[in-house]
Amino acid sequence: MHLEIINTGTELLLGNTLNTHLAYLGENLLPLGLRVDRQLCIPDGDIIRTALLETVGRADIVIVTGGLGPTSDDITREITAGLLGLPLVENAEVFDRIQERLRRRHREMNTNTRRQAMVPSGSIVLHNDHGTAPGLYFPPLPMPENPAVTSPHIFLLPGPPRELKPMFTDAVEPLLRSICAGRTKLAQMRNFHICGLGESEVARTVETALLALGDDIEIGYCARLSEVIVRVIGNAEQLEAARMIIAASFPMRFFAENEQTMEETVVELLKKFGRTVATAESCTGGMIANRITNVPGASSVLNEAYVTYANDAKISLLGVPPALLAEHGAVSHEVCEAMAKGCLERTGATYALSATGIAGPDGGSEEKPVGTVFIGVAAHDNHPPTVEKHFLNLDRLSFKQAASILALDLLRRRLVHPQSTVG
Amino acid sequence: MHLEIINTGTELLLGNTLNTHLAYLGENLLPLGLRVDRQLCIPDGDIIRTALLETVGRADIVIVTGGLGPTSDDITREITAGLLGLPLVENAEVFDRIQERLRRRHREMNTNTRRQAMVPSGSIVLHNDHGTAPGLYFPPLPMPENPAVTSPHIFLLPGPPRELKPMFTDAVEPLLRSICAGRTKLAQMRNFHICGLGESEVARTVETALLALGDDIEIGYCARLSEVIVRVIGNAEQLEAARMIIAASFPMRFFAENEQTMEETVVELLKKFGRTVATAESCTGGMIANRITNVPGASSVLNEAYVTYANDAKISLLGVPPALLAEHGAVSHEVCEAMAKGCLERTGATYALSATGIAGPDGGSEEKPVGTVFIGVAAHDNHPPTVEKHFLNLDRLSFKQAASILALDLLRRRLVHPQSTVG
């Protein structure tokens, strides 16, 4: 089944709005055995006619996004109906839903909003629970200008992601399942997340074993900040075998699957063990606490956190000895350890994470260049504190992101393999 | 000038990697008077031939991304050369640069990496300072199979954004300037950021005045979390006039232009006035401090910050009276004000920001549903503290983002118009 996506929207081509539809649809079509063969992005307006005509005879399924709204450049519905020779008829149910939606917002129906209730005869309405414009599905039809050729299955979906996503799940997916029944080979994708190793090292370690799982298995690697994602496409058994290979190859470094983040992994472990964490951040400036508190239910594992940017704050809030700061500087193994220990003592948390480094662009020296960072963990677990030194030669924001994921990973390793993190 | 982009990369179509090239290129082509007329995304492999052929006779300029690397599916260079009938010749300078790059990483040249030094004769090398694969520029040439037709200007750029972006600025932009000289009407785009008003209210207030600036002016609106961006495309005088209209219409709410963020605006103001800020965050969990410390030089305006998630932390770190918590609850006007005042006293900062609310998904009640948030500011500026209540009916992460920008905006207004924030 050849599938194409057409994204309409001048704002996408001007760069004001990032096109997230392709990534969302690509990821959600794969479990149906479908891949996106082509994706085209065009401005609002009449060019949608040309783009749709190009797919006839080439594509089995076409998904169009955008251009269903009430403004004058929203003409996807009218153009598609015209191309297939279908008259537009006002649909009473759609009309009522639009009116009800407007009423709740104390707004009046006008000519423009009413136009959204026009439905091409022969198409199927995909109701929109998060906006006024409904989606539409057109089953294959003989093309008016050449009846020997049949149009693809055409889906018209609204542009705003918060409207498109639920419509895809609720209405498009079931239709695609019946369209594809028996015609596609169901594949599954799983992403395995590994922290603290390079892409080539990961590939070298597991590629041979993964490829031996079958001729049809597909492997991909994606390097992120301090993280490598191994993407495996195959059947359920192959994916389970891949998981075992990766877990055995990187017992300390493999931390999550699919969309699970490092902070979700850490919060899950803390909850499971009934533990708490506090943070004492210098160079990461609150990012570690921010990531932890992004996870729902984080309040059960984090009571408080400190950002101690200035030396005075490290002394007064964490009890770092002034002599230590004077002797070793704020960016040092010794101060990082003292920050973690002070944070542990003052908060009563089970674990304390610390980070001190030079995020840049200024503040580096020959001995401690921009990118130098120490991360530390102290714990009430009968093991001494651990401090690691990293060098992250990145822009300021990426430095903070990489340092915070490495700090969270240090805590994760301390939670699951405490002895492995101790010098 | 008709311009098209072709993005190659199976990972883009599978949804593993978000395609950010279109937004980047769209935004950076506009100042040259160029707009992206079509953007196509296709998998790695031979389909690039078909895609390139389709642009011949339609496009003046084609920018292709991806497929220049060392692996077997990287064949953009070979296919383009074949299409234009150009033989590939090893380029000594490119070879040396690749070898030098590999040497620094202690790696050896092999057949695959060496292939990247092959350059189609007649094309111009765009050196890559951030990777091994160089970019290429092909001036228009008669097509071998039909010499009456001329190929478009073709640019081949590497897929990784950190390689593509500097290459675009350093090499592609100057070439495009000379290609476009006198053939495009230079347009400029400016984005105006407004905090705390709705999209329709912003549009209603300024649209008539903005449209009166000329027939050729283009206006767009983009609603973000707690923020509306007004996009104006026009000439330099029109953009300056637009700025004055927007500044006069929203004297309190217009806070930045183009890519400047709220946190950059706030840090700039604090530096300018020689002031400091400390934060006392509950529901935002460190995001406010994290945003402030994303700005280079933030250490001159922020010494310390607190995340006080638990009531005990609010009492011990900020001195919030336990009776206040018992009487009004942690999510209340009174506690928000006490957090800001306590933070101000204990840190010695000039300004203290506080936030307390219910991020969800759990923890709401009938009286204080999920989404309720209080933000507060206290200052050594002879004005009493200010507390604002907002209701942000959003998912957890969006709630944190919206609450943190509203808190930063409260500080911004306090800095520029202190009396306006005082009830």
Q: Break chain B down into helix, strand, coil percent, rounded to 5.
A: 40, 25, 35
Question: What is the DSSP code string of B209-230?
Answer: HHHTT-TT-EEEEEEETTEEEE
Q: What is the mean pLDDT of residues B166-171?
A: 96
Residue in A344, A339, A378, A343 with CA at minimum distance from that of residue A355? A339
pLDDT in tens, A43-67: 988 999 999 999 999 999 999 999 9
Least reliable range by pLDDT among A159-163, A356-360, B149-153, B312-316: A159-163
Distance CA A92, CA A89 (A): 9
Share of chain B above pLDDT 70, in %: 100
pLDDT in tens, B8-28: 998 899 887 889 999 999 989
Nearest-CA distance from B331 to chain A in Å?
A: 14
Q: What is the mean pLDDT of residues B230-237?
A: 90
Whether the pLDDT of residue B382 is over 70: the answer is yes
Query: CB-based contact (8 Å) between A175 and chain B?
Result: no
In the block, tokens 């549009």 appear at B203
pLDDT in tens, B44-101: 889 999 999 999 999 999 999 999 987 777 899 999 999 999 999 999 999 999 998 8
Q: Is cis: bond before A251, omega within 30 of 0?
A: no
Query: CB-based contact (8 Å) between A313 and chain B?
Result: yes
pLDDT in tens, A232-255: 999 899 999 999 999 999 999 999
Residues of chain B positioned with their CB less than 8 A from the CB of A297: 362
Query: CB-based contact (8 Å) between A109 and chain B?
Result: no
pLDDT in tens, A187-203: 788 999 999 888 778 88
Share of chain A above pLDDT 90, in %: 74
Distance CA B251, CA B236 (A): 22
Residue in A49, A50, A25 with CA at minimum distance from that of residue A38? A25
Nearest-CA distance from A346 to chain B in Å?
A: 10
Residues of chain B positioned with their CB less than 8 A from the CB of A43: 37
Residues 26 through 55 of chain B touching chain A, CB cutoff 8 Å: 26-28, 30, 35-43
Give the residue with greater pLDDT, A164 vs A113. A164
In the block, tokens 């996004």 appear at A65
Neighbours of B162 (CB within 10 A): 12
Residue of A nearest to B40 (CA): A40
Residues of chain A positioned with their CB less than 8 A from the CB of B297: 362
Residues 361 through 420 of chain A touching chain B, CB cutoff 8 Å: 361-363, 396-397, 400
Distance CA A5, CA A63 (A): 5
Least reliable range by pLDDT among A284-288, B209-213, B365-369: B365-369
Give the residue with greater pLDDT, B292 vs B45. B292
* Beta carbons of A19 and B19 less than 8 Å apart: yes
Q: Record the pTM.
A: 0.85
pLDDT at B118: 94
Model confidence at A181, pLDDT cuts 50, 70, 90, reads confident
Amino acid at B117: A
pLDDT at A368: 92
Which residues neighbour A317 within 8 Å (Cβ) at sequence distance 6 or greater?
A: A280, A306, A308, A342, A346, B304
Residue of B nearest to A293 (CA): B285
